[in-house]
Amino acid sequence: MSYGTVTVQEDKILISLDGLTRKEKKMLQIMWSIDSKEQLHYWVSSLNKRDQITATSLLMLIKYEMLEHMMNDDYTEANEVLSKFTLSE
């Protein structure tokens, strides 16, 4: 089951999550602006319990979408390169 999409454009990874509330979108904007894992942890810990759960859930959704994207990657180009090194009869 997918909750969004992951797109890779050049060296950027674009993540889109579906069905978010305004508050969740705002929280994600804040998360994107944070520079380090430590700062992210500090920000999440500064939230009330309900918002901590929401922030953690959003992070889990992002990780889930990234994993799903990696598992469904198109390996066509890699297979073409590798096929050049297979032994033929």
| pLDDT of 38 strictly over 60 | yes
Q: pLDDT band at 16, cuts 50/70/90?
A: confident
Q: Provide the residue type at 27 as one letter.
A: M
61-74 mean pLDDT: 76
- How many whole angstroms separate alpha carbon 69 and alpha carbon 11? 15
Q: Which two tokens stand for residue 3?
A: 């909750």
| pLDDT of 6 strictly over 70 | no
Q: Which two tokens stand for residue 81?
A: 């390169």
- How many whole angstroms separate alpha carbon 58 and alpha carbon 24? 8
- How many whole angstroms separate alpha carbon 54 and alpha carbon 75? 34
Beta strands in 1-89 (DSSP E): 4-9, 12-17
